[in-house]
Amino acid sequence: MLNYILRRILLIPVTLFGIMVLNFAIVQFAPGGPVEQMVAQLQGADVSTTARISNTGADSGGGAKAGNNFSTDSSYRGAQGLDPEVIAQLEKQFGFDKPAYERFWMMMKNYLTFDFGQSYFQDRDVVDIVIDKLPVSISLGLWSTLIIYLISVPLGVAKAVRDGSNFDVWTSVAIITGYAIPGFLFAVLLIVLFAGGTYFDIFPLRGLTSPGWSEMSLLGKVGDYFWHLTLPIIALTIGGFTTLTMLTKNSFLDEINKQYVVTAKAKGLSEKQVLYGHVFRNAMLLVIAGFPSALIGLLFTGSVLIEVIFSLDGVGLLGFESVMRRDYPVMFATLYMFTLAGLVLNLISDLTYHFVDPRIDFDARKD
């Protein structure tokens, strides 16, 4: 097992490097980079704004602080173009005066030491920006995943035991109906019904906490936190039960029909003893293996629209906005961090396999 873990750890940087190379290459062909974004903002800007570019560009450290150096609130709108020297200065600020391969190697060299630089447009370290967004994404991803598993696993077991019954049929109809409803559409419905949209004003619509949260008692803080999370979590989990429930059911059905179950029943063991003493361990392997991917998916990709609808400023929204604004330091840093997290969680998933059933030996597998 130790050799397998070592091989997987050595594969992590190789896989991560390949993903970064592929995405960096794709971005090179995408129209409208950060320089173009800034030029668009500067079209028609004040003459003094253009002057500030030359004065501040050389001190911005490769463009990290460009976001607060350019103002677009001027009353002068007559300019139809920018001086080529200004554009050249912008390219130098953002580091685009260097070849693509040189920029990539510099980026990866910094990433090895977890130096992710500064945002092009927010004048802040990327790490600080991500840390500020993490509480929202962790709250949504963690609680959603736990609720989905706490409901889907027992429901899947119950459906397997009652396969073909009315209970099995009606629960299948219910979860498939939930799966067919887009999460963002259900979120809008929840707002209309319970967040002051048209009918009831029971739940808050914005943020994770209320004003004055720091002054509340511990019990009040916890209650306020979950009060704000109720609607987003419901909207995020409504379509998440189907796959896991059916996976659990099918895994248990596959194990229930095996010979060792028949033998255990013939020895006089009760159905509960057979189910939870023998079947459960084997059937849960596939379910456990899917936990890391489910968590990483909900944590970083599954909640973008939910964050937008409920005004929750999380990592999913940050990644989307960084792509739209071509904020490359934020975009590539989040890709690097989330990919690394996903690869580590996949390794943990394999280790969980072995922990649940020590008979599984990855070292014995032929590569």
Residue 215 lies in a domain: yes
Residues 75 and 103 grouped into a single domain: yes
Integer-rounded Cα Rg, in Å, for the chain is 26
In a domain, 15, yes or no: no
What per-residue confidence (pLDDT) applies to 48? 36
Distance (Å, rounded) from C-alpha 97 to C-alpha 203?
51
Tell me: do 139 and 257 sit in the same domain: yes
Co-location of 117 and 165 in the same domain:
no
Question: CATH number, domain at 262?
Answer: 1.10.3720.10
First CA to last CA across the chain, in angstroms?
14
Q: 30 vs 143, which has greater pLDDT? A: 143
Claim to verify: residue 206 and residue 81 sit in the same structural domain: no
> 48: exposed, middle or buried (C-beta count within 10 Å: 0-12, 13-18, 19+)?
exposed
Same domain, yes or no: 233 and 252: yes
pLDDT tens, position by position, 26-51: 887 776 666 666 666 666 443 333 33
Exposure string (b/e) for 199-226, b if CB count within 10 Å is 16 or more?
A: eeeebbbeebeeeeeeeeeeeeeeebbe
Mark whether 329 and 250 lie in a shared domain: yes
Whether residues 115 and 195 share a domain: the answer is no
159: nearest Cα among 167, 151, 149, 147:
167
Q: Please report which confidence band the pLDDT of residue 14 belongs to, taking 50, 70 and 90 as the band edges.
A: very high
The reply to whether 104 falls in a domain is yes
240 and 92 share a domain?
A: no
Least confident residue range of 58-62, 115-119, 351-355: 58-62
Which of 100, 123, 146 is at the close of a domain?
A: 123
At 318-352, the pLDDT tens digits run 878 888 778 888 888 888 988 888 888 778 777 77
The whole-number pLDDT of residue 363 equals 59
Residues 285-303 have pLDDT tens digits of 767 766 766 776 666 655 7
90 or 173, which is more confident? 173
Q: Which of 108, 123, 138 is the last residue of a domain?
A: 123
Residue 330 counted as domain residue? yes
Q: Which of 7-16, 127-136, 290-299, 303-312 has the lowest mean pLDDT?
A: 290-299
* DSSP states along 221-274: HHHHHHHHHHHHHHHHHTTSHHHHHHHHHHHHHHHHTSHHHHHHHHTT--HHHH
pLDDT at 57 over 60: no
Higher pLDDT, 25 or 30: 25
pLDDT at 229 over 80: yes
- Answer whether residue 10 is part of any domain: no
Range of the domain at 88: 34-123
Q: Are residues 91 and 180 in the same domain?
A: no
What's the structural domain count of the chain? 2
Alpha helices by DSSP H, 291-362: 291-300, 304-309, 315-325, 328-356
User: Domain for residue 229, yes or no?
Assistant: yes
- 28 inside domain: no
**5 lies in some domain:** no
The pLDDT of 232-242, averaged and rounded, is 86
| End-of-domain residue from the set 106, 123, 140 | 123
**278 and 154 housed in the same domain:** yes
> Do residue 251 and residue 105 come from a single domain?
no
Range scoring the smallest mean pLDDT among 143-152, 179-188, 196-205: 196-205
Q: What is the mean pLDDT of the chain?
A: 76
The reply to whether 289 and 330 lie within a common domain is: yes
